[in-house]
A and B are shown apart, each in its own frame.
Chain A
Amino acid sequence: MTVSPVTDEAVRRPALMRNITRRDFLKVVGTGAASLWWCQFPLKHLVALEQEPESWPLGIEHFVQSVCDQCPSACGVIGRVVDGKLTKLDGNPRHPTNRGKLCPVGQAGVQLLYNPDRLRHPLEQSPKGSGQWRAVSWDDAINAIVGHLRGLRSRGSPESHAILTGEREGDFDAMMKRFMRSFGSPNYFMSLSARAARTANFLMQGTYTLPSYDFERANLILSFGAPLLENWHSPMQSQRAYGYLRQARRGPRARLIQVEPRFSMTSAKADQWVPIRPGTEAALALGIAYVLIKEHLYDEDFVKHHTFGFDDWQSADGSKHRGFMGFVLEHYRPERVADITGLSVLEIVTLAKELARATPVLAVGGGVTSLYSNATITEMAIDSLNALLGSIEIPGGVIHQRKVEFAPLPEVRPDAIALGGLEKTLRSSGGESVLTLSSNNPETLLESLLSGDPYRITSLWIIDENPVFSGVFGNKWREALKRIPLVVAFSTFMTETAELADFVLPHPTFMERGELINAPAVSSVPVIGLMQPIVKPLYETRHVAQVVLDIAHRVDKTLADDFPWNTVEDFQGGCLEQVFRERRGTMFTDSFEEEHIKLLEERGYWSPTHASPQAFQDDFKKNGGWWDPHYPMQRWGSVFKTKSHQFEFFPQAMADGMEHAHGRMITSGHASNLAKDLLLKRIGLAGEDGEIYLPHYESMKVSGDQASYPFFLMLYQPLTLTALHSANLPWLQEYLVAHLPMRWGSWVEVNPETARQLHLRNQQLVWVESPHGRVKLELRTYAGSMPGVVSCILGQGHTSLGRWARGCGENPLQLVGEHLDSLAGSPALLSTRVKLYQA
């Protein structure tokens, strides 16, 4: 089907209404497939109806373009609306992220919109946790919230208000930040994915985002457990690239090598699968680095001009430091790496030589490797391969997206109360905080919610996020939420977290609200998509941004002055004005125009297409979004935002952070050497040969010893369960995974030989037990399971959410201990050993 012109007004009558012949009619009935179709036009022409129903469906159809919100990658969608009802979501061919394609999760959006379990009006629970809900009006709910916030401001403790939100970038994020700044609280937290990969990128390249990869032009992709064909950070981007690399690109065929302990979809579709012992990926990366350095196969030019800490060096105070080269050559001989990883020396050397031969190549992490307790240093080791091979800022390498950060004018003017509150960040005032480099970390919030240290949080908003269910700290969150006087959950469903709130405010789905979405940095070029209501809101829902705006207007005059916008659209206008002033990029275009604009921009041309911000805004709405297809490579001055403005093998930010934390501990009364030991213990690094800053391998923390718990538990989230409410969408439950014929539930995947040795059969119920708990699951033999590793899907086992999610499968997080990757501050989901026995 070709997509008709996609404007709001593109209303056309169904083809059959225009003229119909007897032949057509018979054909329709004859084929059967469309026999309902003829019900749409007045039947009196064919069959005499006694009385025509009043609201006979007219079959009037129109298409609305918008942006999907099932995951943060923000693909473009087109909704087909017939008689005011959304019947299908398809990809938007003009949206650069997905170019007309759409993953199953996006398509299941219609089941999100029309889900019978959605929240329909605001609810109040009293007492909290009792399960006694009472419908309240929006006014009452907002009055209660405003009253509480006013109290905080008048008592001079605005910092006691906190917000926790799911991952999303755009005008919503900008508004929340602005609100918190104006209100005077530093406690705005976002649950980000792959925090270890972000932290590693921050340490070595200076940006706390995921790196972008130019997959399309790479010759070899060495993926360290990156779920490129599953729930990658931008699944449509990586899947489209995969399709392109497979058959569409001219020239030599690109290869994909997947290093992963599990035979995942990506492993299965890769050219080569390298099954590696879990948690030893860093050793492999450094073993490869060893071969590259030893045989002079690395990009010496890049290393010389754009990296720091490769050779031995001396710091300003005269102390000597060992370089990456010397360190790797001393410690990562392939023989040793082979012992650690379980691979053969030949495999390691072959991988290194292939990488060197195939440039441009990409080493990609950010998936499995971000979930171990040694995640950050592992991601650093993977990143160093890109630097060694010169795969940074070249076509087919790592690139750094130039985003537009929304911060509409006028600037916020926090008053004295707000300024006082903003200074009191949880970490700066915390006495003995852990060295954590990530900027906003939900676990930091949780810690102080429980301890009440350095101060109590008395108001918490949780927006589209479900920490009670989705993290290893579920029980702690449960405990913490009970202690907070006012918890407000903005949610589309009654989630496990919302059940513990005082107020639950129904949030519209992405098909009913308007938002500007800034595609995440992982998509290589900046894309700003317009989410707009495809259908009228079904229930009494309100967009969080509008609620926050209303609250801001009512708390007090300072806040009201900082929010001179009446509606969210006005605020978005301010954001778009910023984009207008960027003087680059273009509205969404088709592929042909894209090439044209790229050519122009490469040569330094840009035509000012719009006379005023208003004209820009109108055009933006018409086209559904803005993007900048041109990426200028190798503007070295602005690429690396590290201290040395180079790629840092030796991350100075980390060394400085440690120095700082050490200093603070000494001031608070620790002896210097003891403080250092304590600090190292806290960040969980032992270092290799005293070297903690360079990328190195350290064994990860694991619950359970090998003798009692012989299997390592790999948890994975299939693409279908990526979205927050996936589990309550029947289509996704029906097609959970493709590698096993499994639907509606969860199971444990075991190597057939292992199962035989344990005298367990396929499809038998077994207990999976770790030191932290046990769950009963169906055993599934799977040839792709490594001996010694069992796998289980993540995202099932809801106790709430809705009729389809509740009680479907088990939540394996109850097996997982509370290990952290302390550098990134993120929970280590892959840190458990289990045993299996008959149930």
Chain B
Amino acid sequence: MAHWGMVIDLDKCSGCQACVVACKSENNIPFTSPQEADVGRTISWMEMVQIIEGEYPEVRARFIPRPCMHCKKAPCTRVCPVGATYQNEEGIIAQIYARCIGCRYCTNACPYTVKYFNWRPPEWPEELRSCLNPDVSVRPKGVVEKCTFCHHRLQRAREQARFEKRALQEKDYQPACAQSCPTSAIYFGDLDDPKSTVSRLRKDGRAFTLLEELGTEPRVTYLAEEKIYGRAVV
């Protein structure tokens, strides 16, 4: 059984947010009004985190696309009182909306703040409902939602492979963010396969994970920027 993981090369990332919008579009994530956005209720399974440091002219900026880390030792799954969030056999942290009671223990437990609570029922003007993705359910008010590594795409790819009577290949399955990335900074694949690009890149000298010290063992790895001269990061 494959274990899916992601590598994001921050050296290539241009911070354009194509991944963010791709995710919104693929996963039927409702947009929020300006008023709700002001109180921090925008839902972004994939979010561009900015870190601006230093003082003019020695300014340093980092832009980090942040999906769910799909931790091997996920803090969120341990606190869920009803087993609504759990780690499936392929290492994807899943969320069963019908089981979620909205206690938000998991949103508080997640050190990466990738779990979002639905404060309102999802709403779209009638016309905009046409572009909802029929592969992904719309989440009701009162449940927590999160990045699923576009798990429906995996199911689809698996069905397709079965239909074609062949084994599932790594290239059959790619989340929407990785597909759209203009600079090809997002890699996705099987961490169990030592020959896969993600396995190779995880051993790169530039590789790091977010909040490594917490021991969550994320399946999303970053590659640091490689600035040689000038006002450099790292």
Contacts and interface: CB of A to CB of B under 8 A. Distances in A.
A240 interface: yes
A89 B174 CA distance: 15
B185 to A, nearest CB: 6
B133 A87 contact: yes
Contacts of A83: 134
Contact of A87 (B18, B37, B134): B134
A613 interface: no
Given A36-B137, A101-B181, A734-B42, A268 B61 contact: yes
B184 A101 contact: yes
A242 B183 contact: yes
A783 B129 CA distance: 41
A108 B56 contact: no
Interface in B101-126: 125-126
Contacts of B94: 30-33
B54 interface: yes
A88 B25 contact: yes
Given A32-B97, A735-B48, A247 B20 contact: no
Contacts of B151: 31, 33-34
B153 A1 contact: yes
B216 interface: no
Interface residues on B, range: 35 or more
B205 interface: no
B226 interface: yes
Interface string B120-164: 000001111111111111100000000010111101110110010
B98 A104 contact: no
Contacts of B195: none
A86 interface: yes
Nearest to B14: A229
Contact of A263 (B59, B125, B184, B230): B59
Interface string A1-44: 11000000000000110100000000111111111110110000
Contacts of B131: 85-88, 110-111, 113-114
For B97, B136, B172, B174, the residue with the greatest tally of chain A CB atoms inside 10 Å of its CB is B136
A33 B24 contact: no
Given A31-B151, A34-B152, A735-B17, A730 B31 contact: yes
A367 interface: no
Contacts of A107: 18, 21-22, 25, 180
A539 to B, nearest CB: 10
A90 interface: yes
A88 B26 contact: yes
Contacts of A735: 17, 20-21, 44, 48
B37 A104 contact: no
A438 interface: no
Nearest to B147: A33
A37 B42 CA distance: 25
**Interface SS majority for chain A:** mixed
Contacts of B56: 263, 275, 751, 753, 783-787
Tell me which of B18, B42, B63, B129 has the highest count of chain A C-beta atoms within 10 A of its own C-beta: B18
A565 interface: no
A272 B133 contact: no
Nearest to B183: A243
A401 interface: no
Nearest to A16: B159
A786 B22 CA distance: 33
A731 interface: yes
Contact of A272 (B88, B226, B231): B231
B227 interface: yes
A273 interface: yes
Given A34-B135, A87-B132, A239-B182, A269 B126 contact: no
B63 A738 contact: yes
A745 B34 CA distance: 8
A229 B16 contact: yes
Contacts of A732: 21
Nearest to B27: A33
Contact of B52 (A100, A734, A783): A783
B228 A734 contact: no
Residue from A15, A230, A753, A782 having most chain B Cβ neighbours under 10 A: A15
Contacts of A448: none
A444 interface: no
B194 interface: no
Contacts of A733: 31, 34
A59 interface: yes
Contact of A86 (B12, B130, B156, B226): B130
A551 interface: no
B134 A36 contact: yes
Contacts of B9: 246-247
Contacts of A741: 50
B165 interface: no
Contacts of A784: 52, 56, 59, 61
Contact of B135 (A36, A744, A787): A36
A739 B163 contact: no
A751 B55 CA distance: 9
Contacts of B192: none
B209 interface: no
A98 interface: yes
A33 B136 contact: yes
Interface in A764-783: 782-783
Given A15-B160, A90-B180, A268 B97 contact: no
Contacts of A102: 18, 22, 180, 182
B16 A104 contact: yes
A595 interface: no
Contact of A242 (B12, B48, B232): B12
Contacts of B226: 246-247, 253
A116 B156 contact: no
23 contacts: A32-B97, A35-B137, A37-B136, A83-B134, A85-B131, A87-B131, A90-B180, A102-B22, A102-B180, A103-B182, A114-B128, A229-B14, A239-B182, A242-B12, A246-B183, A265-B14, A269-B61, A269-B63, A273-B231, A740-B50, A741-B50, A783-B59, A787-B56
Given A242-B12, A732-B21, 6 more contacts: A1-B156, A1-B174, A36-B135, A102-B180, A269-B63, A739-B15
**9 closest cross-chain pairs (CB), A and B:** A243-B183, A15-B159, A272-B230, A744-B34, A36-B137, A268-B61, A104-B21, A239-B182, A730-B31
Interface of B: 9, 11-18, 20-22, 24-26, 31-32, 34, 37, 42, 44, 48, 50, 52-57, 59, 61, 63, 88, 92, 94-99, 125-138, 148, 150-153, 155-157, 159-160, 163, 171-174, 176, 179-185, 226-232
